[in-house]
Structure 1
Amino acid sequence: MTLLIFFTGVKEKILIAGVILGFFVLVFVIIILHRVYRSNESKRDNIVRIEKFLEDYKALKPSRYSYNDIKKLTNHFKDKLGQGGYGTVYKGKLSNEVLVAIKILNDSKGNGEEFINEVGTIGRIHHVNVVRLVGFCADGVKRALIYEFLPNESLEKFIFSTSIKTHSLGWEKLQEIAIGIAKGIEYLHQGCDQRILHFDIKPHNILLDENFNPKISDFGLAKLCSKDQSAVSMTVARGTMGYIAPEVLSRNFGNASYKSDVYSFGMLLLEMVGGRKNIDVTVETNQAYFPEWVYNQLDQGEDVHIRIEEEGDIKIAKKLTIVGLWCIQWYPIDRPSMKVVVQMLEREGDNLTIPPNPFASIGSTGGNIRRRKRSLQQELTIISE
């Protein structure tokens, strides 16, 4: 009897020990399986993350798309962003997080030169102040250009629109934008294998990202030349009225070159200061031509009273004005390079030298020169609007 009780106690202890051991084994197995599951889940997450990165990375490299692809990317042209002389721009989406602006070129406009210029120039360069070409479409007569999407649209919207306070960006931000544009143009002139002449620098072609960083766009009128080439040839004038350098309109003023972009940038700077197109008449200046009025103000030691709200803004406005006036000197040889322009814009203080009067008599009065230029602009074919 005692022996039976002994064996019964032993069996119970063995059973209890087995249950305890089994519990720990089960816990151990669960832990191992959990770790394996977490490891596999982590690997799966890594794979998904890498695949997503590669998908987005592929989307950021210029690629060729069919017209059917363009329809899908734009959701059948649902979200229209704008329209110009050469085509209509729609908002599109590549992969998961890459938004794009897709420009559908007009079938009947031009001979394909704009398309070739865009893909041939912007498609192979990368700079923080130059818009990125994501892809393109050449499907029969259907052509499209796919750019990175920039949510704040163009600089023109902020300096010309009557519905938005002209300098709502603030003078410090306007100065940053001016420096960014200048660095972008300098890169086109000096940072590429071949010099890229834009020939259509204007507020409409300066796009702003989510942080209002400027990016130069629209290379449809661009020309390439070697860096040691001092001039380029062209059969007709190219650019937009009000920004075209004198030498582009008439060889009497010299040859078209990278200095022609400098002139256009100078006109853009003066429009940023004035908050309107240079040729617009205002009561404030009582002048039809703002650049001449603002030069006379500086030459006479007067302040440039253009929407200045804080004392520190006066120095910025004056600096932008002086640099702009240096850039619009009538003859190309008198204009600074974009490298020098960047240095002038980044200089602290307001100790820049006022340039010679670009509207002074050069064999005739400044007004006659200006009228002659306007007459040439009306007579010649202007490629871009």
Structure 2
Amino acid sequence: MEVDLRTMVFNVLLLMLWSLQTCFAMISDAGSIEFDGGSEESDHETLFDPSFWYSFSIGYVCSASGIIFAYMWFCVPWAQLKKTKRKFMSSNVGRHDIRAIKANQVPQLLLYLLLLKKGNQEVSRVLDKLRSSISFMELCRATDYFNMTNVIGTGKTGTVYKAKLSNGSKVAVKRLYDSKLFETKFALEIGILHRFKHGNLVGLLGFCTERKQRILVYEFMPNGKLSDWLHPLQNEAFPLDWPIRLKIALGLARGLSFLHDCCNWKILHFGINSEHVLLDKNFEPKLRNFRSAELMKESQKKLGKKDVYDFGVVLMELITGKKHVEMSIDFKVIDSSLLGKGFDEQISCLVKVAVDCIQLSPHQRPSMLDVYKYIERLWEGYETDD
């Protein structure tokens, strides 16, 4: 139906332009007759006098402008987006019953605002009206009123506490420092993790916006951050064996491939590093921290090559056991704990993947989907105990 409308409007537009050209031609003929001193008979031969055709042409110009405006408004994609925006905002944000928005509508609304590059003010307006999925008092009890003894991590945006909900489940509770400063980052976490469920994205179990609080509740990851395993303190060293490292590389590639290529919204993480990879009890990697993420259109997917580069850096960390700064000096040294155990060929293959990912030119880097398929082939026939 949409295609038929566009075709009809286009055909009408062509017809009007052709008619307009005919009018100007008749004006030109009439003017030339008078200029050449045509006789009274020749004047009568013209259907109408020139003043009529001038008025008629002006009318045609106005009509054509209206047709063009209508075409741009209803048929051009960016105009259609604006129309959708008005409809969506009037049905969800502009009403007085914003508080009644259901939990499953939250991600769609927030993602829509973020896609349109809305600032903190509009995002705050929505967040302030939404009902929390977990009450503030329940989170207070779960964290022993945010007791410092329950802190398991601190970052630029907030503090993470280990907690136990009333149903007995263990969770990680992140409380943002300044709610107004990090509204967009808070909304990104809800919009992405609440809407898109994947085995290699950390699970968002709920959120709280009561009393101007900005609190996120995640599934608990008993094995902590990947960086703590790759770069442990001297008295905490416990190196990961190769099958576990390959499993982590595969899971991380799978999660990024999902974000880039498999979900309807093309999501770029823009913050991939070993600090932002959590490990569950089976060492399955879970990507976290979407505070720098951006939502991209199909035409902007090439920007995802930044994620590919960062993934390559994490691969080199898995292979060498060294931090990125150390790798810049001697990144070719493979972790000695991996050598001579029958995995050398697989390690060499993964080194090649990592080198391809960290090419200086983004155009020379593979897509995350290609990377995932390649690592999946390395994993075929490989079994580890869960």
- Please classify the TM superposition score into its range, dividing by the shorter chain length: 0.5 to 0.7
Q: How far is the alpha carbon of 1:137 from its aligned partner? A: 1.2
How far off is 1:108 after superposition?
6.6
Asked if 1 retains the 8 angstrom alpha-carbon contact of 2:176 and 2:182, the reply is no
Corresponding residue for 1:67?
A: 136
- 2:158 paired with 1:128: no
* Structure 1 equivalent of residue 239 of structure 2: 168
1:330 deviation in Å?
1.0
Whole-Å separation in 1 of the counterparts to 2:360 and 2:226: 25
Q: Secondary structure at the match of 2:338?
A: coil
1:125 and 1:345 mapped to 2: Cα distance? 23
Using structure 2 for the length normalisation, give the TM-score: 0.60
Question: Match for residue 343 of structure 1?
Answer: 373
The residue identity in structure 2 corresponding to 1:289 is: I
Q: Which has the higher contact order (CA 8 A, sep 6+)?
A: 1
By how many angstroms is 1:119 displaced? 0.7
Match of 2:355 in 1: 325
Shift, 1:201, TM fit: 0.6
Tell whether the 8 Å contact from 1:166 to 1:275 is kept in structure 2 after alignment.
Answer: no
Q: Distance in 1 between the 2:145 and 2:378 partners?
A: 50
Per-residue deviation, 1:167: 6.6
Letter in 2 for 1:152: N
Rate the CA distance shift 1:111–1:81 in 2: closer, same or farther, 3 A.
closer
Shift in alpha-carbon separation, 1:328–1:166, aligned structure 2, 3 A: farther
The Cα shift of 1:109 comes to 7.5
Query: Would the aligned equivalents of 2:346 and 2:378 in 1 still touch at CA under 8 Å?
Result: no
2:305 to 259, 262, 275: 259
* Partners of 2:238 and 2:340 in 1: CA distance: 12
CA contact (8 A) 1:200 1:261 kept: yes
Q: For 1:142 and 1:290, how far apart are their aligned partners in 2?
A: 45
- Corresponding residue number in structure 1 for 2:214: 143
- Is 1:77 equivalent to 2:146 in the alignment? yes
How far apart, CA to CA, are the structure 1 residues paired with 2:254 and 2:235?
A: 27
Q: Look up the match of 1:215.
A: 286
Assess if the C-alpha contact under 8 Å between 1:100 and 1:147 holds in 2: yes
- Aligned partner of 2:197: which letter? H
After superposition, give the CA deviation of every residue in 1:96-134 in whole Å (9 maximum; x if it has no partner).
Answer: 342110001011783412101111111111111111100
**Contact kept? 1:274, 1:290, Cα under 8 Å:** no
Counterpart of 2:321 (choices 275, 278, 287) is: 275
Distance 2:219 2:338 in 1: 34
Alignment pair present for 1:290 and 2:345: no
Please tell me whether the aligned partners of residues 313 and 324 of structure 2 are also in contact (alpha carbons under 8 angstroms).
yes
Counterparts of 1:111 and 1:205, CA distance in 2: 18
Count of residue correspondences:
249
Q: State how far apart, in whole Å, the 2-side matches of 1:68 and 1:329 are.
A: 50
| Contact preservation (8 Å) 2:198, 2:255 | yes
**Distance in 2 (alpha carbons) for counterparts of 1:272 and 1:348:** 15
Does structure 1 retain, via aligned residues, the 8 Å contact 2:179–2:214?
no
Q: Secondary structure at the match of 2:310?
A: helix
Match of 1:308 in 2: 338
Amino acid at match of 1:158: W
Shift in CA distance, 85/116, structure 1 to aligned 2, threshold 3 Å: same
Aligned CA distance change for structure 1 residues 130 and 111 (closer, same or farther; 3 Å): closer
Which among 230, 236, 247 is matched to residue 300 of structure 2?
Answer: 230
Quote the Cα distance in structure 2 between the aligned partners of 1:160 and 1:128.
25
Following the alignment from structure 1 to structure 2, what is the Cα–Cα distance between the partners of residues 315 and 165? 29
What's the TM-score, normalizing by structure 1? 0.60
Alpha-carbon distance, 1:225 to partner: 1.6
The one-letter amino acid paired with 2:361 is Y
Question: Could you list the runs of 5+ residues in structure 1 that have no partner in the other structure?
Answer: 1-57, 232-255, 282-287, 298-303, 350-385
Residue-by-residue CA offset, 1:315-371 (whole Å, 9 max, x unaligned): 23222211111101111111111111012212349xxxxxxxxxxxxxxxxxxxxxx
Q: 1:125 to 1:164 in 2, by over 3 A?
A: farther
Pick aligned residue for 2:181 from 110, 135, 146: 110
Aligned residues: CA RMSD: 2.5
CA distance 1:131–1:108, change in 2 (3 Å): closer
**Which of 261, 267, 273 does residue 202 from structure 1 map onto?**
273
Q: CA 1:96–1:139 in structure 2 vs 1: closer, same or farther (change >3 Å)?
A: closer
Aligned-pair CA distance for 1:83: 0.9
Q: Specify the code of the residue in structure 2 equivalent to 1:71.
A: C
Cα contact 2:138–2:165 (8 A) shared by 1:
no
Whole-Å separation in 2 of the counterparts to 1:310 and 1:150: 32
> Runs of 5+ in structure 2 lacking a partner?
1-102, 108-131, 380-386
